[in-house]
């Protein structure tokens, strides 16, 4: 008799426990079902759809042309309206933009409800136009090749000096150009941009053919062709071994002193700015 009562108590406990589990499980299933219904509704609600055709570029730097804008806008990873509640939306957008050759850094990607995505990026700014086999390619301060190829010097709202005498072949867009000559030419172009090219005489080209002394180790590695094809011996680039080189500021000061004596470098056959005096 005691055995029967014990068995009955066990069965009652199991029944109560299974009923509780059934109720809890049912409630959880109902919550998940409602959540899924709500999520599906949000994904398709027109109020929360981000429309790629309405992308707007704000705080656009003055040097950024329409071609760059079109290129960056075209990389938006969605072609059709997408819900702002889409799973992984900001992560996906940030990853795609980070791989764009014009984008140096993605600052942030954030949502603004109900249907706006804000993306802040730093664009690579061209510093020089590299000439290689009668074609021009743009590079930034890190010698990263930017999109595009030109048969003549591109017209941009930036003063981009051509770098000639390059022997190293172009790399893929968005990758650093592997060549000491390109790094040297880009570094000189950047230095002159930052410190100011004398306005008295135009900079026609940066000649890097003798980078590393490959033509003649006794001659200046870099030559600036200025004015009426007057060669200005620059010495070595800050991108290479700067040992023994005077600062860029001093080189430009030397050039300005020559221009004071000979405006426009008229009657000058050659200028050497790589020495103290």
Q: State the pLDDT at residue 10.
A: 42
Q: Is residue 18 pLDDT above 60, yes or no?
A: no
- Asked if 264 contacts 201 with a C-beta cutoff of 8 angstroms, the reply is yes
In this prediction, residues 203-229 reach a mean pLDDT of 91
Q: Is residue 39 pLDDT above 50, yes or no?
A: no
Determine the Cα–Cα distance for residues 224 and 204; give it in Å rounded to an integer. 8
70 or 197, higher pLDDT: 70
pTM of full prediction above 0.75 = yes
Determine the Cα–Cα distance for residues 266 and 72; give it in Å rounded to an integer. 45
User: Which secondary-structure segment (H or E) carries 137?
Assistant: strand 135-139
pLDDT in tens, 60-98: 888 888 888 888 888 899 989 999 898 999 999 999 999
In the chain, % of residues over pLDDT 70: 82
Per-residue confidence band for 11, with pLDDT thresholds at 50, 70 and 90: very low
Q: Is residue 35 pLDDT above 50, yes or no?
A: no
Q: State the pLDDT at residue 101.
A: 95
Q: State the pLDDT at residue 145.
A: 96
Q: Which two tokens stand for residue 60?
A: 């656009």
* Residue 267 DSSP symbol: T
pLDDT in tens, 149-180: 999 988 777 888 999 999 999 999 999 999 99
Q: State the pLDDT at residue 222.
A: 95
Q: Is residue 4 pLDDT above 70, yes or no?
A: no
pLDDT in tens, 91-144: 999 999 999 999 999 999 999 888 899 999 999 999 999 999 999 999 999 999
How many beta carbons lie within 10 A of that of residue 9, not counting itself? 10
């Amino acid at each position: 008799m005691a055995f029967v009562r014990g068995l009955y108590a066990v069965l009652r406990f199991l029944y109560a426990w299974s009923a509780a589990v059934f109720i809890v499980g049912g409630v959880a299933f109902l919550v998940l079902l409602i959540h899924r219904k709500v999520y599906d509704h949000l994904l398709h609600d027109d109020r929360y759809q981000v429309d790629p055709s309405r992308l707007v570029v704000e705080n656009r730097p003055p040097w950024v042309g329409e071609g760059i804008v079109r290129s960056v806008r075209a990389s938006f990873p969605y072609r059709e309206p997408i819900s702002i509640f889409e799973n992984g939306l900001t992560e996906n957008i940030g990853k795609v933009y980070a791989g764009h050759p014009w984008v140096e850094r993605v600052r942030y990607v954030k949502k603004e409800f109900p249907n706006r995505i804000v993306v802040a990026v730093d664009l690579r700014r061209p510093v020089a136009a590299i000439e290689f086999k009668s074609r021009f390619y743009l590079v930034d301060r890190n010698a990263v090749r930017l999109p595009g190829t030109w048969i003549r010097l591109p017209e941009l709202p930036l003063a981009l000096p051509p770098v000639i005498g390059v022997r190293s072949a172009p790399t893929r867009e968005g990758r650093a150009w592997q060549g000491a000559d390109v790094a040297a030419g880009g570094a000189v172009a950047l230095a002159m941009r930052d410190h100011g090219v004398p306005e008295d005489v135009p900079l026609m080209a940066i000649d890097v053919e003798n980078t590393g002394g490959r033509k003649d180790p006794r001659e200046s590695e870099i030559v600036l062709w200025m004015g009426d094809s007057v060669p200005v011996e620059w010495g070595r680039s800050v991108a290479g071994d700067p040992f023994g080189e005077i600062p860029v500021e001093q080189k430009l000061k030397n050039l300005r002193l020559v221009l004071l004596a000979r405006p426009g470098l008229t009657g000058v056959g050659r200028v050497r700015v790589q020495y103290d005096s």
